[in-house]
Amino acid sequence: MRSLIRVSRLSVFRWLAALLCASLLLPGAQAQDAKTLRIGFQKYGTLTIVRALGDLDKRLAAQGITVKWTEFPAGPQLLEGLNVGSIDFGTVGEAPPVFAQAAGAALVYVGNEPPSPTSEAILVPKDSPIQRVADLKGKKVALNKGSNVHYLLVKQLERAGVTYGDVNVVYLTPADARAAFERGAVDAWVIWDPFQAAAEKQLGARVLADGTGVVQNYQFFLAARGYEKAHPEVIRTVLDEVRKGDLWARDHRADAVALLQPVLGLDKAVVELAAERLAYGVQPITREVLQAQQQVADAFYALKLIPKPLNVFDAAPSDLK
């Protein structure tokens, strides 16, 4: 009987342990932890500047909150991290939130930077015979699936009268795409800064078309819905420091370039070019901005790039719903 009781107790302990582990793996399971704020960032942009300045870490440390920074290669990977509960806050372009929301991510738009249509472009080699977007028909075009440049390609092809299916789209991360572009394995590369600026300065890549007059290319700040709901004051603090860092970079361009250059590991001329194309002035989310996002979502659904139609306003801040 005692052995049966021991076995029964062991089974209960194992069940409880399994339940605990499962709860820790659930998306957003750690979202209620007020002692740590986990921020996802990419190698370039306002959050990179905020991290380098260090003011946010100091301000939250005074409140007993530690900031954990995690770098991601691109927006889709960053929002995948948010979806599975490994980060609480991050910044991405237009397309990643649409793909993430379509995948069921519990995210909320909390802020954005102004449009920056020249900070992304379709690039071709300097000696390429391709002269117009229409010339991409039947060609291999590399891009990071689900990134802001995905929408740029969709809209530029639409404008040129070329169907999306008439282009051979090759999904590659920025590093792999650059390698393919350099060796001539793809005919064009759709990419954002600073990778865009690096290709222009280092490879002599030619801009076939950027986002001017076609897309807005917003940069969004997003939070996990559970964290934003539980700790709105922390999110407000983060956005306040992001605004300060953004304005500092605008008003101290040379200092910002000097700050970013060792972080990026790029030539000064590359960082300067990318910084010139940035849009400055972080602002709260508005209905107009989310309506522009709805157009992105509708375009992707029409092409069956996302499996179902979605309402972007489901991811709006509470005051906009």
84 domain residue, yes or no: yes
List, for residues 120-142, the tens digit of each pLDDT value. Answer: 999 999 999 999 999 999 999 99
pLDDT of res. 92: 94
Is 54 within a domain? Answer: yes
Range in 15-29, 67-81, 108-122, 270-284 with the lowest mean pLDDT: 15-29
Residue 262 lies in a domain: yes
Which pLDDT value is given to residue 34? 66
CA distance 295 to 94: 10
Residue 44 covered by a domain? yes
Task: Give yes or no: residues 100 and 35 share one domain.
Answer: yes
Please say which residue of 161, 178, 210 terminates a domain.
210
Identify the domain boundary among 191, 210, 229.
210
Name the percent of the chain lying above pLDDT 70: 89
Residue 220 near residue 154 (C-beta atoms within 8 A): no
Is 10 part of any domain? Answer: no
- Tell me the pLDDT band of 44, cut-offs 50, 70 and 90: confident
* pLDDT tens figures, 92-116: 999 999 999 999 999 999 999 999 9
Q: What are 136-194's pLDDT values in tens digits?
A: 999 999 999 988 999 999 999 999 999 999 999 999 999 999 999 999 999 999 999 99
Last residue of a domain, one of 162, 183, 210: 210
| Residue, of 34 and 296, whose pLDDT is higher | 296
Quick one: which of 190, 189, 149, 142 has its CA closest to 168?
142
Task: Tell me, yes or no, whether 44 and 190 share the same domain.
Answer: no
> Does the pLDDT of residue 18 top 80, yes or no?
no
186 and 74 inside one domain: no
Cα-Cα-Cα-Cα torsion 193, 149, 74, 27, nearest 10 degrees, comes to: 150
Query: 38 and 165 in one domain?
Result: no
Per the prediction, the chain carries an average pLDDT of 88
Confidence of residue 217 (pLDDT cuts 50, 70, 90): very high
Q: Give the domain CATH number at 103.
A: 3.40.190.10
130, 205: one domain: yes
Residues 266, 198 share a domain: no
Do residues 125 and 258 lie in contact, with contact meaning Cβ atoms separated by under 8 Å? no
Strands 140-143 and 89-92: unpaired
Dist CA 37 CA 32 (whole Å):
10
Q: Which two tokens stand for residue 311?
A: 């309402």
Give residue 321's pLDDT.
Answer: 61
- The pLDDT value given to residue 33: 56
Locate tokens 């280092």: which residue? 202
**One domain, residues 224 and 316:** yes
Are residues 82 and 122 both part of a single domain? no
Full domain range(s) for residue 191: 118-210
Residues 178 and 291 in one domain: no
pLDDT value for 14: 37
Same domain for 128 and 75: no
Q: What is the pLDDT of residue 29?
A: 41
> Please, what is the Cα angle at 76 between 70 and 79, to 5 degrees?
55
Q: What is the pLDDT of residues 218-236, one digit of tens each?
A: 999 999 999 999 999 999 9
- Residue 12 is assigned to a structural domain of this protein: no
Q: How much is the pLDDT for 258?
A: 93
